């Protein structure tokens, strides 16, 4: 909702104080405008202020000395309360009468007290304070969202795109959000500063995708694909992240080369928009008790380009369009819950409850109460009526992980819910009806369990409407480099990298724990290493130590594998002890030869109870270990 009128006020050199009220029909500003500014730096018709649905739009009329908002040269810009607007050398303050925040027309999350990641939005006065950055001009729209309460995130994105495109020298601006399943950069809003928009739509989509996945700004000039320096570029892409994960990008192009000031302003706008996405997501989750998977238009990205993974992603996208039961099956650690959340996020039930239930984590005797609730006095300790998770998920989605662990009794009750949409609480007589979409997951072979009589055949067929197989990591090795770099950039709040040599080491492993194991390995390396780029030595893999004992043989010679029946632990212990002895007990040297960090070596020495040989001679350097 926009205000009925606004005010321009301030001092005009040689003409005293100016206070001009502008009504809903807008006004022209200039030496001969309806808002008269009698100064030689102001053109006859300098600019126009008009009311739009999105707010008050300031448009330059080709003035000789330019129009500025908070020091930034603009061709057009949506103004916000408190903006300093420059017409030539005359700077006036823009004030607007805010709409009624309690109006039924103003819906959506309340940002007045939301905060996160170094940013705070305050409704009165409407300011956006961001630590370490001066974003006043480029982010006027974001400052105002607290006072006006944007009805939707889309409203804000659209206006931000238009404000960037309205900066002097910007030919177009485009905000793209990553599709949650395909990982493609989907244009959300685009705005053109003039008709000569450089780069075709297909090229811009690829630029937006590259900028989103790069983790740092990418610059182009003409046909050069992102290989040019910041200076002299004619297109720039700035990544957007949501909670550390890639969420999209802001792309801006110029008909000529950008100057440094324009790029700084666009980058500031992208940083502010990233903060706004986080605030919006937090506000949306708070409104639903944190039970929904609300991602403010940008769900977590599924990283993977392998054919098997893309097949699963396409199946999930199709399944999301219906309310049919989905059965996800795959080994532990293949990302079944993430796929379930993304099916939910793409469905018509998005915004309603998403309830995740891990069947093996609930005591079998308590499963009935957990899923269906209980009445007061139903059993010892039932001191009051309790709703079950199916009631909590009414209208939304419930995810039943490890469905193969359910008892025969629970299988019967679940079958009735799936067929009839009804159940009774434990100890109750009232039939309760619910509308719940069910997504299940298992790492077991349910067909085999049916043959062995451990799983009901009728329930199996009721669950097995849409089957989505999730491939193990060893069958999608091409995805390991992307996954490793994604985890290194998104875990811990400090952006890190992974060297090519380390990627080769990671790709050579079997990963029995799949993506979960890979993520844990990356996280452990990030915690224990001080390197900005993770190297092979930052990863502690017993197989590597056992398979590559120190030898004087040529590097191309295959190491012999002991056939004495020793366990892997014994082989590892013997190898580490031998290296420690050759290094005279110096842990620093031994760690370097083993290709692991010293902290990892300390843990191995303690875990395997490896004795440290006596260095013998003081001052031989062993104290450094």
Query: Which of 37-51, 99-113, 558-572 shows the highest mean pLDDT?
Result: 37-51
**pLDDT category, 567, cuts 50, 70, 90?**
low
Residue 193: predicted pLDDT: 61
How many CB atoms within 10 Å of residue 562? 12
Average pLDDT over residues 529-558: 60
> Is pLDDT larger for residue 128 or for residue 26?
26
Is the separation of the CB atoms in 458 and 452 below 8 Å?
Answer: no
Residue 495: predicted pLDDT: 76
Lowest mean pLDDT among 167-171, 314-318, 587-591: 587-591
**pLDDT category, 459, cuts 50, 70, 90?**
very high
Mean pLDDT for all residues in the chain = 76
> Is pLDDT larger for residue 40 or for residue 550?
40
Lowest mean pLDDT among 29-38, 115-124, 367-376, 477-486: 115-124
CA distance 16 to 36: 12
The phi-psi region of residue 234 (left if phi > 0; otherwise alpha if psi is between -120 and 50; otherwise beta) is alpha
Lowest mean pLDDT among 74-83, 391-400, 550-559, 573-582: 550-559
Lowest mean pLDDT among 135-149, 215-229, 337-351: 135-149
How far from 228 is each of 201, 202, 219, 220, 335, CA to CA, in Å?
Answer: 21, 20, 6, 6, 37
Is the separation of the CB atoms in 594 and 608 below 8 Å?
Answer: no
CA distance 265 to 137: 8
pLDDT 10s digits, 325-345: 999 999 988 989 889 988 988
pLDDT at 466 over 90: yes
Q: Which of 17, 331, 55, 301 is nearest to 185 (CA)?
A: 301
Residue 151: predicted pLDDT: 52
> Is pLDDT larger for residue 207 or for residue 414?
414
> Is pLDDT larger for residue 23 or for residue 195?
23
Q: Before 577, cis peptide (omega within 30)?
A: no
Q: Which of 75, 303, 82 is nearest to 193 (CA)?
A: 75
pLDDT at 370 over 80: yes
pLDDT at 180 over 60: no
DSSP states of 167-197 as a string?
Answer: BTT--EEEEEEE-TTT--EEEEEEEESSS--
Side by side, the strands of the sheet bearing 185-192 are: 185-192, 172-178, 245-253, 235-242, 218-220
Residue 556: predicted pLDDT: 34
> Is pLDDT larger for residue 437 or for residue 82?
437
Average pLDDT over residues 20-26: 84
Which percentage of the chain shows pLDDT scores above 70? Answer: 74
**pLDDT category, 455, cuts 50, 70, 90?**
very high
pLDDT 10s digits, 392-401: 899 999 999 9
> Is pLDDT larger for residue 439 or for residue 598?
439
Residue 109: predicted pLDDT: 37
pLDDT at 26 over 60: yes
Cβ burial, residue 497 (10 Å; 0-12/13-18/19+): middle
pLDDT 10s digits, 244-295: 778 888 998 887 888 888 888 888 888 877 777 776 666 555 444 444 333 3
CA distance 326 to 328: 6
pLDDT at 609 over 50: yes
Crossing angle for the helix pair 598-608 and 568-582, to the nearest 10 degrees: 120
pLDDT at 106 over 60: no
Residue 390: predicted pLDDT: 93
**pLDDT category, 579, cuts 50, 70, 90?**
confident
Average pLDDT over residues 207-211: 84
CA distance 351 to 153: 14
Give pTM, 2 decimals: 0.48
Average pLDDT over residues 501-520: 90
> Is pLDDT larger for residue 342 or for residue 417?
417
**pLDDT category, 2, cuts 50, 70, 90?**
low
pLDDT at 441 over 90: yes
CA distance 96 to 143: 13
**pLDDT category, 227, cuts 50, 70, 90?**
low
Residue 456: predicted pLDDT: 93
pLDDT at 554 over 70: no
Average pLDDT over residues 86-91: 91
């Amino acid at each position: 909702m926009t205000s009925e009128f606004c005010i321009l006020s301030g001092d005009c050199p040689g003409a005293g104080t100016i206070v001009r009220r502008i009504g809903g029909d807008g006004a022209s500003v200039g030496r001969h405008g309806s808002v008269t500014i009698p100064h030689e730096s102001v053109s006859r018709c300098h600019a126009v202020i008009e009311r739009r649905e999105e707010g008050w739009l300031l448009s330059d009329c080709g003035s000789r000395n330019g129009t500025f908002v908070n020091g930034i040269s603009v061709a057009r810009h949506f103004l916000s309360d408190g903006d300093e607007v420059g017409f030539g050398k005359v700077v006036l303050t823009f004030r607007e009468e805010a709409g009624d925040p309690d109006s039924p027309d103003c819906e959506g999350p309340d940002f007045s007290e939301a905060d996160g990641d170094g940013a705070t939005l305050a409704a009165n006065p409407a300011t956006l304070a961001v630590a370490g950055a001066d974003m006043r001009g480029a982010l006027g729209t974001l400052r105002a969202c607290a006072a006006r309460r944007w009805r939707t995130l889309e409203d804000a994105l659209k206006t931000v795109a238009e404000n960037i495109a309205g900066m002097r020298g910007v030919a177009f601006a485009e905000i793209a959000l990553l599709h949650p399943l395909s990982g493609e950069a989907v244009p959300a809003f685009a705005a053109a500063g003039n008709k000569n928009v450089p780069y075709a739509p297909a090229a811009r989509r690829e630029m937006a995708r590259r900028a989103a996945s790069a983790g740092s700004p990418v610059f182009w000039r003409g046909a050069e694909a992102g290989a040019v320096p910041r200076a002299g570029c004619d297109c720039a892409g700035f990544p957007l992240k949501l909670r550390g994960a890639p969420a999209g990008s802001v792309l801006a192009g110029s008909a000529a080369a950008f100057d440094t000031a324009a790029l700084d302003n666009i980058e500031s706008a992208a940083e502010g928009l990233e903060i706004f996405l986080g605030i919006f997501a937090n506000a949306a989750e708070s409104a639903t008790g944190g039970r929904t998977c609300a991602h403010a238009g940008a769900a977590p990205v599924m990283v993977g380009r392998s054919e098997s993974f893309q097949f699963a992603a396409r199946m999930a996208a199709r399944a999301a369009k219906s309310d049919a039961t989905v059965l996800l099956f795959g080994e532990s650690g293949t990302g079944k819950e993430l796929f379930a959340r993304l099916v939910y996020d793409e469905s018509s039930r998005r915004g309603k409850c998403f309830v995740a239930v891990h069947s093996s984590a609930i005591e079998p005797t308590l499963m009935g109460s957990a899923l269906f609730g209980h009445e007061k006095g139903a059993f010892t300790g039932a001191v009051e009526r309790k709703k079950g998770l199916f009631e909590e998920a009414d209208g939304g989605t419930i995810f039943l992980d490890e469905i193969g662990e359910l008892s025969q009794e629970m299988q019967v009750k679940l079958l009735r819910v799936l067929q009839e949409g009804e159940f009774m609480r434990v100890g109750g007589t009232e039939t309760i009806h619910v509308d719940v979409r069910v997504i299940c997951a298992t790492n077991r072979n349910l067909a085999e369990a049916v043959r062995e009589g451990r799983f009901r055949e009728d329930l199996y067929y009721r669950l097995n409407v849409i089957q989505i197989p999730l491939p193990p990591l060893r069958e999608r090795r091409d995805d390991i480099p992307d996954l490793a770099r994604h985890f290194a950039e998104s875990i811990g709040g400090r952006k890190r990298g992974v060297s090519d040599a380390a990627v080769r080491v990671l790709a050579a492993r079997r990963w029995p724990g799949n993506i979960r194991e890979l993520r844990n390995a990356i996280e452990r390396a990030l915690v224990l290493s001080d390197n900005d780029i993770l190297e092979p030595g930052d990863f502690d893999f017993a197989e590597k130590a056992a398979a590559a004992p120190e030898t004087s043989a040529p590097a191309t010679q295959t190491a012999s594998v002991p056939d004495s029946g020793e366990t892997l632990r014994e082989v590892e212990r013997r190898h580490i002890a031998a290296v420690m002895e050759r290094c005279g007990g110096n842990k620093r040297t031994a760690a370097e030869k083993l290709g692991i960090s010293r902290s990892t070596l300390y843990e191995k020495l303690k875990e395997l109870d490896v004795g440290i040989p006596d260095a013998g001679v003081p001052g031989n350097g062993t104290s450094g270990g």
